[in-house]
Structure 1
């Protein structure tokens, strides 16, 4: 059966509203029926036999979304990476996921060793080219995608999410936000983050329209807002820093009805002016391991907590959250503990065995639970307040970073004798990384160091500041004394 799978849900929408616009870009648009036909056409280019995983390393656009749908239609799972990612990181992801081939844009040529590339260029003709389109039986439990996040082993780890997880999330999103034909969702996120999943699938599986801005607009707020206005965007989902930037504008596009913040803490100061516009604003929470979000909290109509942050809210449809102690027992009402997530959103786990696999566990009653590693507590109204991580993981620009992964990369570089990474918080409550380096050689080049780091780490994972040390301070038992490291203050902190 193909029930409750991503592609079947999309096919049903395409059949019910074939002429509705599915995707718009600058100067381009495609209807649901045309997008379905384009996905069919792309599947005809696939190898006759493939094991079930396909890489996606493409520029954002109609062809990228169609290629993802084509992979899902063929019964396979997609493994996404941005073309701008470090070459060694892309290579590692694709090799570990054992993809059969990688779909690329014409100007994208990742270093993939022996893995073949399939180039999909704009303008591929869908009409009359779909007789040989792949037709397979898709299971709701079949893997939909594998997202790579930072890992404690020094290598990224692949999170496995199935079709049922995504379809459930599309239903939960619609129940809360009433997404429907006429809505236009901005596609702003990178493809390797789960906000992208929210942008694409909660839109296409509910009959709305995706609007993809040019790359230049993603780094230019004025240009981005002009795009939003021109294309009638009604929903933006992004990191709190995007809302913080929008909060500084004299006005925002009148088409907007909903702003969704996720990926990091949302503070009252980030949206104090936006709260006066009449737009609904939500704070959301959920690790990639639980399929985008597990909780929602509307914020434009409430006041922040005493620490200036907003709660992460109540559980979404068919999700349960328990606040547990170290022994995995529920804490007393209002007590602090680890946020543990149960229900339809919990993913399959990790692609390979990694230390974090222990975070997927089973309760005595047989229910699967994901231990988030985040600490929080219930408020009197039943909503949840987020406190902080219980480990060394930090959020940089809304993306999870394991300090240990960054440290491992630094210490694998020949020029480095020793290196550690510390995280600090600036005056706006945003985390930043500082690298402390003991050079191996007298003639040490930080430029060469960062060039080598860029081979394995995405830009947000590279420390914002570096300090050259003669030696690292140690505790009496011989460990690095992180409290004794010289702190780097950003402007406005003193």
Structure 2
């Protein structure tokens, strides 16, 4: 175990920001949800369009489906693939898996078969729970496919007697991997419980009404669903696949939404086009990418101080790790801080084996019960990213985020970009190296370079540049290859064919020159 070097100044600032112990229940999602259902049986748990389920109804249906899952051979510790469209059925299915002591693995059935087979294999997936059982059976015939059909279920009031331990795995999320192989990130029950219990970044209680906007294979959905259901509040399932501001405003007003999470890109669109959409909401959480100060300042002037809260956190740390309530003007600031660690989470900025003093840049590292145990089947990467240290005589397991930042004198942490080429686009974490890996597989591509560019709205777009090996290299040919390899959110928004990749003096691809050339070409074409 390595010992972290530290100065009095560095230790003092980290001790101050890391006084985050708030306590949280030593129970699993199963026990906590069943406790809420017992205390508030007639309260509305889930809303979807005109449908409403009380806690009694939701719990009873989940109990009934869990019986079917166990009959299909699902036991504690098993992994169950989950693909159900946003609906009450989705929540019932998720709860049923948890009630079996199993782990849910959300996936998108539009992903390529090759990718899904790889994910199921890495996770040791035992069964699939879906509302498209015929399609799933045809595609994955060797796996047990269990249909979700609420009309075939009865409301079973008896909760399974099984007790799930807080350190059991609740769910697995797969993130982009630089070698072309997605990384499986398992998250413990206690990681979710610590996120939504005694929350300092948003009010969560029985009066909470939270819309569920994110795809369930994006970990923001964990906050949206369990933040409501573990606190006796209401989870409002957004009625459409894609967010429209007029519809979002209607959902917010009709249901009395109290808190909402929106990605940075969606936040910018709301601020630009219809800030009144969220006027009645108490707290607007936003994150996923670095924020545009222009949009943050416009939002602050419209909503007032403290209503907008920027949140930050890698998947590996159970959704959110830090928060920053926007209070006072951000004009003239170098960047919007990612803020302070949330409850039961600690943060350290480390460089060259030493704790950084205020103002000194280093790598942002996180600790606490929200940490994943590590990557599925990737022992070397786990050992590299999750490291035990001695910090002032205390043994601390740190997750190295790969994010660069520094602590200000007031304790707030400022993000300064990635140490590698991992980015977030529309809230999804993407490693550009994975896209380049598959781009280089295209038979007609000699070289490729993948980066991001920013639109005027502040939204990031993935841009790929390719050097052709022959005349068959076209943007469409590259797209057609990638669509079979990666999910749609990883597809480049632009693919440009160029004669060569310009290099800097150090021999690296000159990103600025490429983007400048692309901008010049776009300007010429618009004339």
Q: Give the alignment's TM-score, normalised by structure 2.
A: 0.86
In 2: Cα distance, 1:181 partner to 1:317 partner: 19
Equivalent residues, number: 486
**Higher mean C-alpha deviation, range 188-197 or range 45-54:** 45-54
In 1: Cα distance, 2:439 partner to 2:129 partner: 31
Equivalence for 1:115: 143
Matched, 1:446 2:475: yes
Q: Which residue, out of 247, 251, 256, partners 1:227?
A: 251
Q: Give 1:293 deviation, angstroms.
A: 1.0
Q: Deviations over 1:152-206 (max 9, x none)?
A: 2212101111111111111142x44221122210100111122111101111111
In 2: Cα distance, 1:130 partner to 1:124 partner: 16
Q: Give 1:134 deviation, angstroms.
A: 4.9
Equivalence for 1:52: 78
**Higher mean C-alpha deviation, range 353-362 or range 370-379:** 353-362
Q: Give 1:253 deviation, angstroms.
A: 5.0
Q: Deviations over 1:319-351 (max 9, x none)?
A: 1111110x2310122211111111122121111
In 1: Cα distance, 2:278 partner to 2:465 partner: 44
Equivalence for 1:146: 172
Matched, 1:33 2:33: no
Residues 127 and 146, structure 2, Cα contact 8 Å, conserved in 1: yes
In 2: Cα distance, 1:58 partner to 1:49 partner: 18
In 1: Cα distance, 2:324 partner to 2:209 partner: 21
Q: Give 1:31 deviation, angstroms.
A: 0.6
Q: Deviations over 1:11-69 (max 9, x none)?
A: 11111100000000101010111111111111111123545100001101111111111
Q: Secondary structure at the match of 1:237?
A: strand
Residues 44-443 of structure 1: pairs in structure 2 closer than 5 A: 44-46=67-69, 47-50=72-75, 52-106=78-132, 109-110=135-136, 111-112=139-140, 114-127=142-155, 134-173=160-199, 175-216=200-241, 218-247=242-271, 248-249=273-274, 251-253=276-278, 255-275=280-300, 276-278=302-304, 280-299=307-326, 301-304=327-330, 306-307=332-333, 309-325=335-351, 327-353=352-378, 356-357=381-382, 358-364=384-390, 365-443=394-472
Equivalence for 1:16: 39
Residues 444 and 468, structure 2, Cα contact 8 Å, conserved in 1: yes
**Higher mean C-alpha deviation, range 153-162 or range 415-424:** 415-424
Higher normalized helix content (fraction of residues): 2
**Higher mean C-alpha deviation, range 202-211 or range 39-48:** 39-48
In 2: Cα distance, 1:27 partner to 1:351 partner: 40
Residues 416 and 437, structure 1, Cα contact 8 Å, conserved in 2: yes
In 1: Cα distance, 2:359 partner to 2:504 partner: 36
Q: Secondary structure at the match of 1:44?
A: helix
In 2: Cα distance, 1:381 partner to 1:478 partner: 40
Q: Cα RMSD between the aligned structures?
A: 2.6
Q: Deviations over 1:445-471 (max 9, x none)?
A: 432321221122222322221121344
Residues 304 and 311, structure 1, Cα contact 8 Å, conserved in 2: no
Equivalence for 2:13: none
Residues 31 and 163, structure 2, Cα contact 8 Å, conserved in 1: no
Q: Give the alignment's TM-score, normalised by structure 1.
A: 0.91
Q: Deviations over 1:372-414 (max 9, x none)?
A: 1111111121111111111111221222211110011112233
**Higher mean C-alpha deviation, range 474-483 or range 66-75:** 474-483
CA change 1:329–1:243 in 2 (3 A) is same
CA change 1:124–1:296 in 2 (3 A) is farther
In 2: Cα distance, 1:48 partner to 1:34 partner: 25
Bigger relative contact order (CA 8 A; separation at least 6) = 2
Matched, 1:489 2:519: yes
Residues 59 and 83, structure 1, Cα contact 8 Å, conserved in 2: no
Q: Give 1:480 deviation, angstroms.
A: 5.2
CA change 1:475–1:265 in 2 (3 A) is closer
Q: Which runs of 5+ in 1 are unaligned?
A: none
Residues 74 and 127, structure 2, Cα contact 8 Å, conserved in 1: no
Q: Deviations over 1:241-287 (max 9, x none)?
A: 22222223162355411100121122332244433335711011111
Residues 153 and 354, structure 1, Cα contact 8 Å, conserved in 2: no
